[in-house]
Amino acid sequence: MNQRSTILMVTAFLVASAGALVFLLGGGNGSEVGADIRCAGDAAASSGVRSDDVRPDVDLPDNPLEAYRGELLDLAFRAASKFPLHPHVKNRSRNQAEVVDACLRLGQLRRALACIPEIADWRRGYAYADLAFLCAGAKRTDDVETLLDFAEASANQGDVGQEWRKGRILARMAQVLFLLGRAAEADALQNTVADPSETGRVDLVKAMELDPAELARRIEALDAVVATGDHDQIGNALDAYARLFDRFYDDVERRALIEDRIEAAFKKQNRISGFESRLELAGICLQHDDGLKARKLAIAAWEVKNQARWAPEDDVALSARLATLLFQAGDEETARREVEAALALFDRNREKIIDIYRAGPLRALAEANHAIGDRAASVELYWRAIEEGIHNPNSRPRADDLVDTCVSMAVHGVEPDARLMERLVRICDELGEPW
């Protein structure tokens, strides 16, 4: 009897975000059926990996999606699957999982399901649990049970390795169960996870569904987590606080209480985590049409960034993300100025940046330019990113950057022109020895 079945008898649940659930709930099946077959078929053909004989017997929909975005996702998965299994199983699986995550963010459930069995390491189990989470949000209960069975089977394989990997899968499964309203089963499964940094992830979903009467007790529990001083656990607590911030946004008194606890937790974070947390909260403000508060948080993030010295590639990428948020918060002038300054910073420091790290900040700038409405500049920066991505003669960093670039364009809705698409395909076709 498997672990989850035992729990059922005894007790007789990003890079998914709330936004992804909303997208899924409103979607239909508008994509071409052949796309999912290409993902799995190309992966098997290019890697030589024998995927599971048994695949989940579920029929999931793909939301309507522009053809070019589907082509970018397929190309990214093909590039990821070109990694030889030995000795690059980690790189191969990580890149494949990145594409699956992008599929889920875009509501491409069928496409994701076709790709997941080709993932060779523990990330396959987590991807099944991730897909189950989306199905739970869409009330596809029968599909959830099947996907959880496959996630659990992956978690219990002997080659999963370190305990935290299994714990991450089981914690995601517990989130799914909690989302389905099966709190006792979720708690029981959560209690089998030894790593506190993983068990804390379940609190994120609990925060989304929290009864107002339970807020004080939940805050007390999260305060205790923050008091441990453990970086990972504080991060999980802040993520849970962010969900509470969202959940009670319209309740001014309760929101103020949550904000006080968040500010206290900020003091125990390192600068990059503090920057990330403030951007996340600002994004929540924008979801509630509160541009003024979002801008204040963006400025706070900017101040945190300026308190430290960053490597040029990191400085550029952080500034690009900040510019996007400022633009969305209504400060267009400052946003454009930040983008221009970040690009100038990259150009001044290009030679100081190791070649395999040059494409990342250019992608971030491409995303920022797309966000502020400058499509031409965005496409040009993506072109620069892929050219920097092939500067290194080895295929490993080339494949990493190609996957990242294709995923970025697909997720952000940047349509490549014919010249750029042809270049992306050629780079993928040329991946091979030396890795």
Give the pLDDT band of residue 159 (cuts 50, 70, 90): low
What is 312-346 written as a DSSP string? Answer: HHHHHHHHHHHHHHHHHTT-HHHHHHHHHHHHHHH
Secondary structure of 63-110 in the HEC alphabet? CCCCHHHHHHHHHHHHHHCCCCHHHHHHHHHHHHHHHHHHHHHCCEHH
Query: Cα dihedral sign for 293, 297, 298, 302?
Result: positive
**Angstrom distance (rounded) from CA 265 to CA 250:** 22
The model's pTM is: 0.84
User: What are the sequence ranges of the domains in the chain?
Assistant: 1-209, 310-435
Tell me the average pLDDT across 305-315: 92
Q: What is the pLDDT of residues 96-108, one digit of tens each?
A: 999 999 999 999 9
The tens digit of pLDDT for each residue in 162-198 reads 788 888 999 999 999 988 989 889 888 888 887 776 7
- 360, 404 in Cβ contact below 8 A? yes
Q: Is 193 helix (H, G, I), strand (E, B) or coil?
A: coil
Which CATH topology does 310-435 take? 1.25.40
- Phi, psi angles (nearest 5°) of residue 190: -60, -35
Give residue-wise pLDDT tens across range 47-90.
Answer: 334 444 578 999 999 999 999 999 999 999 999 999 999 999 99
Amino acid at 266: F
Distances (CA, A) of 314 to 26, 176, 200, 254, 392: 36, 34, 28, 36, 20
Dump pLDDT digits (tens) for 194-240: 777 676 677 777 777 788 988 999 999 899 988 987 888 888 888 88
Residues 187-211: b if buried by 16+ CB within 10 A, e if exposed: bbbbebbebebbbbbbbbbbbbebe
What are the phi and psi torsion angles at 62 (to 5°)? Answer: -105, 135
The answer, yes or no, to whether residue 285 has pLDDT greater than 50, is yes
